Amino acid sequence: MNESRRRLPLLGGDGHSGGSRSSMTCLYRCANACDHPAPNTSSNEYFGDQIEAEVTRRGVLKAGSAGAIALGFAGATAGAVAGAAPAFAGPGESGAAEGFSTAALETSGGPAALTFSPIPPNTLDNLVVPNGYDHNVIIRWGDEVVPGAPDFDPAAQTGASQSTQFGYNNDFVAVLPLGRGHDRALLVCNHEYTNENLMFPGFTTLDALSDEQVKAAIAAHGMSVVELERVGRTGQWQVVDRGRRPYNRRITALSTVFAMTGPAAGSALLKTAADPTGRKVVGTLNNCAGGVTPWGTVLSGEENWNQYFVGGDGVPEEAKAALNRYGVSTTARYPADSRKWDRVDARFDLTANPNEVNRFGWIVEIDPFDPDSAPRKHTALGRFKHEGANVIVADNGHVVAYMGDDERFDYMYKFVSSKKITRGDSYWARKQNLTLLESGDLYVAKLDFTSAAEIDGTGKLPTDGAFNGTGTWLPLVKDGRSMVTGWTVEQILVFTRQAADAVGATKMDRPEDVEPNPVNRKIYAALTNNTARGTTTGRGALADEANPRNANKHGHIFELTEDGGDHTGATFTWAIPIVCGDPADPSTFFMGYDKTKVSPISCPDNVAFDSKGNLWISTDGNALLSNDGLFATALSGPEAGHLKQFLTVPRGAETCGPFIATDNKTVFAAVQHPGELTGASFDKPASTWPDGDYSKPGIVGVWRLDGKPVGS
Ligand code: FEO
Ligand code: CA
Ligand code: CA
Ligand code: CA
């Protein structure tokens, strides 16, 4: 084993997923989800209450082609859209110099070698990139977003000040070209959650925060839009000068009003005292991954929203099963470690406002090119712990969104629009396309296996040499009608997890980012880990061919190929190209590539593609006890499976984003929760990234010093 592959005695994880994730991450990000029984108690697939018998029986339980690049960037998720018409008008303008052009999302395809030298695993409190590369911090928590924002003062933060400054814990990153040149862009990113202990000087307990600090924390959730400019002709980008930021915008959980769309908008299930229409919701919560649409908007998933609600003990008995299925506590007014936001806003109290919780858990769509537009929550895409959504245009013109529900033993979904995309860049075309996600069919994935009898839970490959099989998209809603006996369409869309239970969907190992590769048009999902699989603690199913390891600490990558290349179809094949971990671990697999040359990887979370179709993977909670990082591999040709580590993030941080420019000159990544280690605080930071004082989440850009494309 060479130096880069040695397992390092590094920062110890004391969290619950068996990795390096700290207990602080578990508390603040997902309210200790792994401490609770997996909320999927359905009996589809294998039977949770038969696990012990099954484990005994098996005796295997282990612990353990499109057009040329037109502009500088790819919406890696978007797929190619024909036509390179004039760009859309920006705010207050009718000319073509501003706005979004579909040409910007075209991909070039073809093999491109990833020639960078991999960096070794490490625990440095730094952002580490390969030799010959450099990086900059483009924006960090507290920086001005809305012109006129007050200077950042962590000791005096208010809801109002934070509503104009860059939010906390940046996750998804999109960078959309602005105008016709190659030198301006809009950065759009999510702010998933807050670490109050790392944000406020003198922090002692959540209870001791002032009301204004609570409002600042609420406002630090949401999204940001920030205009960028290229530095010279390099791969470096920076925030534009103050006073020249017409697109800049903060979307917050505190005050931004969202419009509900789709079949469940206006339903009784979404009505509250404050909003008797059931169509207007204040805020978005726990926005995790996302995607760029071919019409130049950004999708974002509301993920662990359950943790923000209190008073679940006081809801009517008949409402409790649905709350439990989503991990909302129904046994205590204040679940352990509750943020208790109800003290500044009663809508977070379910006893008083039982329907407010139904207004979160959606895919939201924002139009960064129209800063005055109301962001929307699309009910047609279902309600769960949405990791994100990524869209591809099917050959027949319908748009298809692929989505994961990030919970142990939860499901993968797809949405197929009822309308077809309107080609071109006219104002009219874009107006049409902005409605594509408001109506369509919703499906959940059911898998079948080629080698089921040979799966022993160790990760040992079956004799046919592949974890693979076939699958069916089970319809939940089709042609506007319910496909679940006894359920209305509104019920299916609001209580999607239970509807999917009813049809027998396949339980997966925490489906995170699910994204179409714009070059080979297959779908890739990060299944991050599931230490409860095959154990008695989590009511979980046993290993199966698609989730081939019990006590899955390191996760794997899932590849889905729609039959006949038809993304709107009902059947598919699938395979597991990468089983993560230390390559010296016999349970790992890297497309058959020589494992002595592969970088160790653990807990894949986000996936992205460069314009050549190479797969980029970022990690969260590295169970090999190195810092988290970003990796890349080719998916075809002789280098397929040669996974190499491209960067690591500072101590305690997770790597999010990522987003690769189509010209391959810049890799953008989000550094989330630096210094999020047990015992750390604002005053005693475990990381001083990026400025040498206290830890701040931020967005970085990485480029090659010689100006050539990254990776090739
Ligand atoms: Fe926010 Fe599923 O990661
Ligand atoms: Ca097989
Ligand atoms: Ca994630
Ligand atoms: Ca992604």
> Amino acid identity of 684?
K
Count: domains in the chain: 1
Is residue 690, in this structure, part of any structural domain at all? Answer: yes
Among 548, 553, 557, residue whose Cα is nearest residue 532:
553
> Amino acid identity of 595?
K
> Amino acid identity of 294?
P
Higher confidence at residue 31 or residue 110? 31
Distance 657 CA to ligand 4 centre (A): 7
Cα 312 to Cα 316: distance, rounded to the nearest angstrom: 9
3-state secondary structure of 311: coil
Is residue 66, in this structure, part of any structural domain at all? Answer: yes
The answer to whether residue 93 scores a pLDDT higher than 60 is no
Binding-site residues, ligand 1, Cβ < 6 A: 192, 288, 303, 387, 406, 512, 605
Distance 395 CA to ligand 1 centre (A): 31
The answer to whether residue 357 scores a pLDDT higher than 60 is yes
The answer to whether residue 484 scores a pLDDT higher than 50 is yes
Contact 611, 637 (CB under 8 A): no
Is residue 710, in this structure, part of any structural domain at all? Answer: no
Distance 654 CA to ligand 3 centre (A): 9
pLDDT on residue 182: 86
Domain hosting 399: range is 3-303+361-704
> Which two three-digit tokens encode residue 502?
């009813």
Q: Mapped to the 3 state alphabet, what secondary structure does 337-370 carry?
A: CCCCHHHCCHHHECCCCCCHHHHCCCEEEECCCC
Q: Which ligand is nearest to the CA of 286?
A: 1
Q: Which ligand is nearest to the CA of 391?
A: 4
Q: Which ligand is nearest to the CA of 460?
A: 2
Is residue 335, in this structure, part of any structural domain at all? Answer: no
How much is the pTM?
0.91
Among 391, 388, 362, 356, residue whose Cα is nearest residue 375:
362
Is residue 661, in this structure, part of any structural domain at all? Answer: yes
pLDDT on residue 539: 62
Which residue owns the Cα nearest ligand 1 atom 1? 288
pLDDT on residue 101: 73
Ligand 1 atom at shortest distance from the alpha carbon of 30: 1
Instruction: Give the burial class of 514: count Cβ atoms within 10 A of its Cβ; 0-12 exposed, 13-18 middle, 19 or more buried.
Output: buried
Distance 578 CA to ligand 2 centre (A): 14
Strand ranges of the sheet holding 629-633, from the earlier edge strand across to the other edge: 604-609, 615-619, 629-633, 644-648
Is residue 233, in this structure, part of any structural domain at all? Answer: yes
Beta bridge mates, 442: 415, 477
Among 420, 440, 444, residue whose Cα is nearest residue 489:
440
Is residue 260, in this structure, part of any structural domain at all? Answer: yes
Contact 619, 602 (CB under 8 A): yes
Ligand 1 atom at shortest distance from the alpha carbon of 510: 2
Find the mean pLDDT for residues 329-335.
95
401-445 pLDDT tens trace: 999 999 999 999 999 999 999 999 899 999 999 999 999 999 999
Find the mean pLDDT for residues 187-192.
98
Tell me, what DSSP letter sits at residue 340? -
Cα 712 to Cα 324: distance, rounded to the nearest angstrom: 48
Other Cβ atoms closer than 10 A to 565: 12
Is residue 372, in this structure, part of any structural domain at all? Answer: yes
Tell me, what DSSP letter sits at residue 236? -
Contact 129, 646 (CB under 8 A): yes
Cα 437 to Cα 435: distance, rounded to the nearest angstrom: 6
Q: Which pLDDT band holds residue 110 (cuts at 50, 70, 90)?
A: low
Cα 342 to Cα 337: distance, rounded to the nearest angstrom: 14
Among 596, 595, 600, 630, residue whose Cα is nearest residue 614:
630
Share of the chain above pLDDT 90, in %: 79
CA angle 304, 281, 368 (to 5 degrees): 85
Distance 711 CA to ligand 1 centre (A): 27
